[in-house]
Amino acid sequence: MLYRSRFLSFAIALLLAVGSSGCAMLETRQTKLQAVKTVGIISAVGDEFTFEKGGLTGLNERSQSFPVGSWGLDDMIVQRATLALNGRFQVQPVTYNRSAFAAVEKGPIEASVNFIRKDPFKNLVQSEVSPQGLDAYIVISKAKSKFGNGGRKLYGMGFITYGTVLASYHHIHALYEVRVINGKTFDMIEKRVAQPLDNAGAVRLAGPSRLVDESFSPGVVDPARNDKLQAAITDLVARSLSSTLNDMHLAEVR
Amino acid sequence: MSIKFTRTGVPIQMMFKSRVVGSNEVRPGLELLTKYTDMVRLDVWPALLNEPDGYSRLRLGTPLLVLVASILLCAPAMAQPAFTLPAPPFELPFVPPASGTWNVMVGVGGEYAPKFEGSKSSILSPVPIISIRRVGSSTDQFRGSRDSSSIALLEFGDLRAGPAAKIIRARKASDYSELRGLGDVKTAFELGGFVEYFPVDWFRARAELRQGIGGHQGAVADLYADFIVPVMQRFVISGGPRFSWESTKATSPYFSVDAVQAMSSGLPAFSAKGGAHSVGVGAQVSYRVDPKWEVRGYVEYQRLLGDAAASPLVALRGSPNQTTFGVGASYSFDFRIR
């Protein structure tokens, strides 16, 4: 009897210990976010625009990149994100080395194993952002997505012509992801890729995109001076940013 | 019913799959592509499918068809999520949160394939399909109908590589008259790896090397090449040559006839050796009617070679020509988790 009672006590103690540590392990991002009062917003997606050809292509089709920093896309993103988050957090202006954040591109080896690699943005937030000491930093950076049946990947902002036997289709895309990084420990609280918009239609990209006509092509107008292209990309980002922040429960009012 | 599960990236694809090209093969459920395709696959393989007569398959299919039909009727054909679920009460460490928009694909299909490898007659099996994945994960990534379940753990430019696995269903002598007197072969699990290369969007070369456990203990190598031709953005045709090599330990359990089996089956004794196993061609078509509806079809032809073709089981009671036809239609809708 005594043995049974001791065993029972031990079992309960063990259960409580496991339960409490389990609760800590299973802490939701909501719990983590509740401690966050001050945030800084970093955006590094709008420095360049790529043009690619996919589908039925020649053997040596290479992508082209054009600088579009003059569009002011990152400033627009920071401005809109600030407006969206201000209801919940105290957003403080931060200065950062935008080119360092924009230059982070995953190396040639990438895939599922990446989840065990150290996120490069943690180091950048530590070394390239001022002021330090805020509760969290929201980092908006370029994302990648597969396109079509093959191994083609698209990155950040761009335009792709998809060639088929019967026709060619033109798409623009704005692929980005949002990270919330703890300002004290620099651990990532959450990361979310911007989702496709409702009008994505038959295009299946892991981010905002839309079908456009050929007038958006770089062969017609220099991208940096193509107002139509700038307006379309800005619209993609603006519409998807609020839903992404909502999905991350960042834009909710307390 | 067996369930296999793997972690990570997010989208979970659950697929009820019956026989795979070339007869006895079924795919184990376990596919996890890059974080961009972000796929985890859960395959549920009902033991009922081992029934020889095929009727149990149909009985299994009926409730699933009802489920599929109910979902189709309930889900609005729109871009907006069909329904919203509350956020889960907890999150698992190292696993991305479930919040966001998810896509569900439900569908049905049928596959007409040889009853067992080397058989000259075929049977029709229903293939219900259910997949759940996060919206935005690549659903267009090319996948051949003969590919094993695989995990692309490494991507190096246009090269992808990772582990691959396949299940070869048990072959019971009592299931078919042609096998009477031959021994049973247990279910084989083939584990190994794959490498595939996309030099351009419209061509893929893939190699798999797997080691058998269980029903056979041999090595199997598959080589596939596919030309992927988008006729229109929604209509893609693909196809290309296939080649398989098997070691003696992989070939013998299915194609050898020992002295005792020769006595009871009436077939001459035969010792099957390894080597070139089969050569063939395959083709697939897929047409996305609209963002929600998609139809697919494929045909795979294999000609058995070497001792597999020379086996008395094939030469006297079967055929070295193995053809599989498959068709399917699927419907997709979105739901949201807060």
Per-residue HEC secondary structure of A161-224 comes to EEECCCCEEEEEEECEEEEEEECCCCCEEEEEECCCCHHHCCCCCCCCEEEECHHHCCCCCCHH
- Phi/psi at A81 (5° precision): -65, -40
Q: What is the pLDDT of residues A93-109, one digit of tens each?
A: 999 998 888 888 655 44
What pLDDT score does B136 carry? 57
> Among partner residues A27, A28, A109, which is closest to B156 by beta-carbon distance?
A109
- Tokens matching residue B93: 């460490």
Cβ separation of A55 and B101 shorter than 8 Å?
no
Q: How far is CA B167 from the centre of its chain?
A: 9
Cβ separation of A164 and B35 shorter than 8 Å?
no
Closest CA to A32 of A191, A246, A238, A218: A191
Q: Measured between alpha carbons, how far is residue B245 from residues A10, B208, B222, B254, B281 in Å? A: 58, 10, 6, 14, 15
Cα torsion angle, B158, A161, B284, B42, sign: positive
Burial B55-71 (b: 16+ CB within 10 A, else e): eebeebbeebeeebeee
Q: Which of A25, A27, A56, A112 is the best substitution to test chain B (most B C-beta atoms within 10 A)?
A: A112
Q: How far is CA B68 from the centre of its chain?
A: 21
What pLDDT score does A4 carry? 59
What pLDDT score does B22 carry? 43
Query: In this prediction, what percent of chain A has a pLDDT beyond 90?
Result: 39
CB A83: neighbour CB atoms within 10 A? Answer: 12
Strand B12-15 to B40-45 pairing: parallel
- Tokens matching residue A18: 């496991």
Query: Cis omega (within 30 of 0) on the bond before A131?
Result: yes
> Among partner residues A146, A164, A198, which is closest to B232 by beta-carbon distance?
A164
Q: Residues 201 to 240 of B: which have CB under 8 A from any A CB?
A: 201-204, 228-234, 236, 238
Contacts of B204 (CB under 8 A, 6+ apart): A150, B142, B144, B196, B197, B198, B224, B225, B226, B228
Q: How far is CA B207 from the centre of its chain?
A: 16
Q: Measured between alpha carbons, how far is residue A187 from residues A110, A138, B142, B237 in Å? A: 21, 12, 36, 46
What pLDDT score does B138 carry? 56
CA angle in degrees (0–180, nearest 5) for B164-B169-B170? 135
In A, minimum Cα distance to B9 occurs at: A112
- Phi/psi at B286 (5° precision): -140, 140
Q: Residues 180 to 199 of B: which have CB under 8 A from any A CB?
A: 198-199
What pLDDT score does B137 carry? 59
> Among partner residues B9, B89, B154, which is closest to A109 by beta-carbon distance?
B154
Beta strand ranges found along chain B (DSSP E)? 2-3, 12-15, 25-26, 40-45, 84-85, 100-114, 122-126, 129-134, 149-150, 154-156, 159-168, 188-200, 203-214, 219-232, 235-246, 275-288, 293-304, 321-337
Q: State the residue range of the domain holding B182.
A: 2-337
What pLDDT score does B287 carry? 92
What pLDDT score does B336 carry? 78
pLDDT in tens, chain B (338 residues): 333 333 333 333 333 343 433 444 444 333 333 233 333 333 333 333 333 333 333 334 444 455 445 544 444 444 567 788 877 776 666 666 677 778 788 999 999 999 999 999 999 999 887 777 776 555 567 888 889 988 888 888 788 899 999 999 899 999 999 999 998 999 999 999 999 999 998 999 999 999 999 999 999 999 999 999 999 888 999 999 999 999 999 999 999 999 999 999 999 999 999 999 999 999 999 998 887 889 999 999 999 999 999 999 999 999 999 999 999 999 988 887 87
CB B310: neighbour CB atoms within 10 A? Answer: 15
For residues B31 and B8, the answer to whether their CB atoms sit within 8 Å is no
What pLDDT score does A243 carry? 86
Cβ separation of A195 and B136 shorter than 8 Å?
yes
Can you tell me whether residue B61 is helix, strand or coil?
helix
With beta carbons under 8 A apart, name residues in chain B contacting A207: 136
DSSP state letter for B267? P
- The ipTM (two decimal places) reads 0.73
In A, minimum Cα distance to B200 occurs at: A59
Cβ separation of B153 and A111 shorter than 8 Å?
yes
> Among partner residues B100, B200, B204, which is closest to A247 by beta-carbon distance?
B100
Cβ separation of B90 and A26 shorter than 8 Å?
yes
Closest CA to B210 of B46, B28, B33, B45: B28
Q: Residue B89 and residue A28: Cα distance in Å, rounded?
A: 8
Q: Residue A123 and residue A128: Cα distance in Å, rounded?
A: 8
CA distance A248 to chain B (A): 8
With beta carbons under 8 A apart, name residues in chain A contacting B289: none
State which amino acid sits at residue B32: L
With beta carbons under 8 A apart, name residues in chain B contacting A29: 91, 97
3-state percent helix, strand, coil for chain B, nearest multiple of 5: 15, 45, 40
User: DSSP H helical segments within chain A, as ranges?
Assistant: 2-25, 29-34, 73-85, 98-102, 120-128, 227-247
Mean per-residue pLDDT of chain A? 82
Half-sphere exposure of B53 (CA within 13 A, CB side): 4
Which of A11-25, A210-224, B186-200 is predicted with the least confidence, judged by mean pLDDT?
Answer: A11-25
Q: Measured between alpha carbons, how far is residue A177 from residues A38, A78, A110, A180 in Å? A: 21, 14, 16, 10
Q: How far is CA B198 from the centre of its chain?
A: 21
State which amino acid sits at residue A144: K
Total domains present in chain B: 1
